[in-house]
Structure 1
Amino acid sequence: MELRSTHSRYGLAQIAMHWLVAITVFGLFFLGDYMVDLGYYDPWYRSAPHVHKSIGLLLLLLMVVRLVWRWLNPAPAPLASHRQWEVKLAHIAHAVLYLLIFTGLVSGYLISTADGSSIAVFDWFEVPSVTGQVKQLEELAGKVHRWCAWSLVGLAVLHALAAIKHHVVDRDETLRRMLGLSAR
Structure 2
Amino acid sequence: MLKNTINSYGWIAIVIHWLSALMVIGLFALGYWMLTLGYYDSWYRLGPWWHKSFGITLLVLTVIRLLWKFVNATPKPLGTRFEQIGARVGHGLIYALLLVTMISGYLISTADGRGISVFDWFEIPALITSIPQQEDIAGAVHWYTALALVILAAGHALAAFKHHFVNKDSTLTRMLVAKRNQSNND
**Deviation (angstroms), 1:134:** 3.7
State the partner residue of 1:32.
Answer: 31
Matches within 5 A, 1:1-184: 2-79=1-78, 82-180=79-177, 184=182
5+ residue gaps, structure 2, are none
Contact 1:115-1:134 at 8 Å conserved across structures: no
- Matched residues, percent identical? 49
After superposition, give the CA deviation of every residue in 1:121-166 in whole Å (9 maximum; x if it has no partner). Answer: 0110000011134430000000000000100000000000000011
Higher-RCO chain (CA-CA 8 Å, sequence separation at least 6): 2
5+ residue gaps, structure 1, are none
**Deviation (angstroms), 1:10:** 0.5
Using structure 1 for the length normalisation, give the TM-score.
Answer: 0.95
14 and 181 in structure 1: CA distance in 2 versus 1, 3 angstrom threshold? closer
Residue 66 of structure 2 aligns to a residue whose secondary structure is: helix
Using structure 2 for the length normalisation, give the TM-score.
Answer: 0.94
Structure 1: distance between partners of 2:178 and 2:161: 15
Q: How many residues align?
A: 181
- What is the root-mean-square deviation of aligned Cα atoms in Å? 1.2
